[in-house]
């Protein structure tokens, strides 16, 4: 395993063609930006990128301290000519995947142990033909309800959450 950064030049004919990789990480996630998945025979795969490669720079921009959304914006800014400076195999993707799976299982078990059923949206059709046809129950999506609960906190300068 080399500790020296390696530069990969990825080129695509048009911006509607996929690069063939998925990135994870960023300062907001407390992780380095790394290649999580590669599409077999895609542009990134043919160039030599592999899962676990840590991205140090996109073109000439260092990624240190950047959030995941800032990294995505930098990818868009690069257009169809993308230069990656990477540290090969510097992140252990299988361990990361196993940790994420265990975390999800713990959260599921914790929710089940609390006995609180997950809120669901449902549409109930009530046939009231004498009033002009069917009517539908007023339904609010779960995400809307969460936002309504958080709005008063954010207006008072309370805790905010990042997606």
Q: So what's the pLDDT on residue 120? A: 62
Over residues 60-115, the pLDDT tens digits come to 999 999 999 999 999 999 999 999 999 999 999 888 888 888 888 888 777 666 66
Among candidate residues 49, 75, 93, the one where a domain is terminated: 93
Q: So what's the pLDDT on residue 122? A: 61
Query: Quick one: 27 and 71 in the same domain?
Result: yes
Q: What is the DSSP string of 44-79?
A: HHHHT--TTPEEEEETTEE-TT--HHHHHHHHHHHT
Residue 127: domain span: 119-156
pLDDT mean over 21-29: 93
Contact assessment for residue 128 and residue 134, using Cβ atoms and an 8 Å cutoff: yes
> Which candidate, 20, 16, 25, 24, places its Cα nearest to that of 8?
20
Domain-located, residue 162: no
Contact assessment for residue 87 and residue 64, using Cβ atoms and an 8 Å cutoff: no
pTM over 0.85: no
Query: Quick one: 10 and 89 in the same domain?
Result: yes
Query: Quick one: 67 and 12 in the same domain?
Result: yes
Q: What is the average pLDDT value for the chain, to the nearest integer?
A: 81
The domain tally of the chain equals 2
């Amino acid at each position: 395993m080399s500790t020296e950064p390696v530069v990969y030049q990825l080129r695509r004919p048009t911006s509607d063609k996929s690069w063939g990789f998925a990135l994870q990480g960023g300062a907001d996630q407390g992780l380095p930006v790394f290649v999580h998945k590669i599409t077999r025979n895609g542009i990134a795969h043919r160039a030599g990128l592999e899962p676990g490669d840590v991205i140090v720079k996109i073109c000439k921009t260092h990624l240190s301290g950047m959030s995941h959304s800032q990294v995505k914006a930098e990818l868009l800014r690069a257009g169809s000519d993308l230069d990656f400076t990477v540290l090969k195999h510097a992140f252990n993707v299988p361990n990361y995947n196993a940790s994420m799976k265990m975390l999800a299982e713990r959260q599921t078990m914790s929710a089940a142990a609390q006995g609180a059923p997950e809120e669901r949206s449902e549409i109930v059709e009530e046939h009231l033909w004498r009033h002009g046809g069917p009517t539908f129950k007023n339904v609010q999506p779960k995400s809307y309800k969460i936002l309504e609960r958080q709005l008063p906190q954010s207006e008072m300068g309370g805790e905010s959450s990042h997606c």
